[in-house]
Amino acid sequence: MKKAFVFDFDDTLATTKACVQVYRPDTDYTIKELSPAEFNQYELNSGEEFDFSQFRCPDLVVNGEPTELIKLAKEVYDEDHGVYILTARSSDVSDAIAKFLTINGIKAKQIICLGDGDKATGIADNKQKALMTIMKAYDKIYFYDDNDENIKLAKEVGAKTYLV
C-alpha cells in the first residue's frame, strides 16, 4: 500500500520566531505581532492588513525548532513513504524548508508553498486541492496540521487527519 504523509510546516513540524504583523497602511504602524497559532484565529479589524515578511526569511526557517512530530516524519521517510510539506508560506523559502528537513534527516517528495502574494486568502481551499492531487498517486493519505479549517477540508476529501 502506497502511503503519503502530508505535514503543515509552522507549529506542526517546526516552531520559528517568525510572526505575522498586523499593521495599518495609512500609518505604517504595527499594531501587533501574531504567532502562527494566533494568526489562525485573528480577524482583521477595519483598516488593518497582514504583513508576512518575517515568513519569507530563510534564516528563521532553517533555525526553527523541530517539534515532536518531526520524529514521525523521519520514521515514515525512513520507511520509504512519501513525505510532503503543505504550507501557507511562500515559495521563496522552499529551499530553507528543504534544508531544515535535511538537517533533520528527511527529504520531502515535494514542498508545496501556497502563500505567494501578499494576502492569506483561500489557504484552506488550496490545501484541500493540493491534497486531492497528492491522493491520485497514493492509496492512503495522512494529513497533519494545526488549523481546524485545514483539517475539516482535508477530512472532506478522505484524508486521515490529525489536528496538532
Q: Which domains does the chain have, with CATH numbers?
A: 3-15+58-163 (3.40.50.1000), 20-56 (no CATH)
What's the pLDDT score for residue 110? 98
What's the pLDDT score for residue 129? 96
- Encode pLDDT of 67-118 as tens digits: 999 999 999 999 999 999 999 999 999 999 999 999 999 999 999 999 886 5
Altogether, the residues listed in the chain come to a count of 164
What's the pLDDT score for residue 37? 84
What's the pLDDT score for residue 57? 93
What's the pLDDT score for residue 27? 83
What's the pLDDT score for residue 119? 56
* End-to-end CA, the chain: 25
- Encode pLDDT of 6-51 as tens digits: 999 999 999 999 999 999 988 878 889 999 888 888 999 999 999 8
What's the pLDDT score for residue 41? 84
Of 130, 60, 146, 75, whose CA–CA distance to 106 is shortest? Answer: 75
Q: Where are the beta strands (DSSP E) in 62-159?
A: 65-66, 82-87, 110-113, 140-145
Is 120's pLDDT higher than 60? no
Distance CA 68, CA 115 (A): 25
